[in-house]
Amino acid sequence: MRRALGVAACFLAAVAVVSGAAVAADNPGLADFEPRETDAAPGEAFEIELTMQVVSTIDDEAVESIAYTLAYDPDVLSVTDVEQGPWLGGGEETEMSFETELDDEAGQLHIEEARTPPAGGVIGDGTTATVAFEVDSDASTSNTTVRYDSYEAQMLEYPLPVLHQRTEATINITEEPTEQETPPDDQPGFGPGVAAVALLVVAVIARRNQSA
């Protein structure tokens, strides 16, 4: 009888673990890029934000660490800088680790981030990192992509599945550098008040001419 109860207890424990993993799998994280499309000319630099979204109402599904690898065409793009984003550092205050490993010749950038200690983890959405790229000066006009080659996320109790396989950022290589419109500088001395005074002066002169 005791042996039967022991087997039953082990079975229920196993079901609980599987159920917990299943619940976690029902709410996968979503890795994305911002912006998803960018125009850049040969020799031009640009930045892409790496984003993450985790939707959960269960405390154990908060994230404590992430590790992912970006893939890009090294004949077209090169990584010039990587900065940690604020997302994983949200929630309760804790120490953060941020490590990068760049293989620019192979076109791969590996990033690892962790909360130490987890301090309740983090959910929601935000930027995990910002990566600066530069287009090769000899690149021809075409389209190239930046994508996630792999992605791992660890919650407080279970690994978190992350949707990333079909997510990519597209870079349109243009012939000319992209131009950003800037508003013209305000012209000092020609505001609405000055214009009103000028109209008044013109009116006075016109009346004097009529009187003459």
21-45 pLDDT, tens digit per residue, is 444 445 799 999 999 999 999 999 9
Q: Which of 89, 61, 88, 91 is nearest to 160 (CA)?
A: 61
pTM of the model: 0.72
Residue type, 135: V
Q: Which of 83, 79, 28, 80 is nearest to 52 (CA)?
A: 28
Tens of pLDDT, residue by residue over 54-68, are 998 787 789 999 999
What pLDDT score was predicted for residue 1?
44
Tens of pLDDT, residue by residue over 154-171, are 999 999 999 998 899 999
What is the percent of the chain where pLDDT is above 90? 64
Q: Which residue has the tokens 């995990």?
A: 128
